[in-house]
Chains A and B, each alone.
Chain A
Amino acid sequence: MKTKICLSNVGKTFRMHLREGIELPVVDNVSFAVAEGECVILGGPSGSGKSSVLKMIYGNYRCPKGQILITDGEEIINVAQAAPRRIIRLRDNTIGYVSQFLRAIPRVPALRLVADPLIAQGVSEEEALAQARVLLTRLNVPERLWQLPPATFSGGEQQRVNIARGFIAHYPILLLDEPTASLDAKNRAVVVELVEEKKKKGVAMLGILHDHEARDQIADRIIDVTQFKAAA
């Protein structure tokens, strides 16, 4: 099995200039790897740095220490050092990220928002919209909402739009930050199915999932991030 994500000795400290420059060490010496077709879950209590690790892999947080290697086709890219436009290219083609919250874009309808990542990967608009309809249907987002911008949707509806948006495209790597947090049992089950389908396609997944039932269903391994606790 091919390694898709590999962290070695990653460390992160936040420096809070507005609070007398105090330093907040979050994690240190984070080392682990995720292979294709594998779903690895990061465990640990609130504030232990799970989301920070995902965000560093996505290039959303800076990675000041260590290496974050990502397999991108024939290339291996170190996100910790990569140029911004290289990271953008990774995000277009290689790494998908499903966060807990949808960032709505003014005036863009839900259906289009979901289809966008697939269009960005070169799929025709018609085909992308068709797939978006399928996913929104599976996730039980009422059809009357599809043409509306999601800014006014309920938390759970927004999250399902977000999940559809995250799962629609073909990313070899998928990062999931509590994708089921505000979903009911029925929709959680859909997410579990979606993850299983991605696994079969060889997608490497790294996620955070508090819901134990869903976690037991999809996790191949659980990595406790408290083992990477940074010395204060």
Chain B
Amino acid sequence: MTMLNPDFAEELKQFSEDSALACFNCGTCAAICPLIDSHFPRSMIRYVQIGAKERILEAATELWKCLHCGLCTQTCPREANPGEIILGLKRLVLDHWRKS
């Protein structure tokens, strides 16, 4: 799979694990996440894959519901490290807020 927005991929590397492309959208992480929000964190990983920075910023506060409990990372069959990607997105969004 290739990223639709290579600039965003580069930007994200400063803040996050570079593992989103390993995700094949199986939904295991969303099924096990204690937040029981239908698509979290998979939806965010998907936004990263397609470089949808605006969508991430629109839903940014949702990222802080993540408990950083690591269960998604533990169970991801592709080692896409979803928990650490969410943490990286928090860093990216905070940086964006601080600069704006």
Do A and B assemble together?
A: no
